[in-house]
Amino acid sequence: VASVAALKCHVTGEEEVTSTDCASADETICSGPVFVEYTGIKDTSVEYACGACADSGKQAAGECAECITGDDCNAIDAGADFMCDNYELKDAVWNKTETQTTCQRLTGTAAVCRMPGAKADETAHFTNGGCGP
């Protein structure tokens, strides 16, 4: 009788996340945190795991995702972080501040920073510290 190979999922360990054989050969789901482009992992308390999201509330909130597309489908392939300038609106003029924001992205995503234009709205366009398009 041929044995069925267990699904592999990325699993949160004590010190790192590793690709691990799931305990049950019947397991078909991997789960883990949601990555938001230019921001990073939405909720760092969500663990990578074999099986469904441990907290259905976090799944409903878009903080935990499930996948059924095969081995290690819950892996996040993060690219290199990059820095973007921050701007503030003072007396109707945009000024570059002395601080920068660390932006996070997936591999293959362009490193893009925002700069204020004449019609930039502080609350709509600079909610992520200048990261992203």
Position 122 scores a pLDDT of 66
Position 106 scores a pLDDT of 97
| Cα 126 from Cα 99, distance rounded (Å) | 14
Position 50 scores a pLDDT of 97
Place of tokens 């990555």: 35
Position 120 scores a pLDDT of 75
| Cα 100 from Cα 96, distance rounded (Å) | 9
> Nearest Cα to 69, choosing from 42, 33, 31?
31
Size of the chain, expressed as the number of residues it contains: 133
Position 118 scores a pLDDT of 72
- What tens-digit pLDDT sequence spans the chain (133 residues)? 445 678 999 999 988 999 999 999 899 999 999 999 999 999 999 999 999 999 999 999 999 999 999 999 999 999 999 999 998 888 888 888 999 999 999 999 999 998 887 777 766 666 677 899 8
pTM (global) more than 0.85: no
Position 87 scores a pLDDT of 87
Position 125 scores a pLDDT of 65
Could you please report the per-residue DSSP string of 52-93? S-S-HHHHHTTSEEEE-SSTTTT---B---EEEEEEEEETTE
Position 45 scores a pLDDT of 96
- Inter-CA distances, 20 with 12, 14, 24, 27, Å: 9, 13, 12, 12
| Cα 131 from Cα 105, distance rounded (Å) | 10
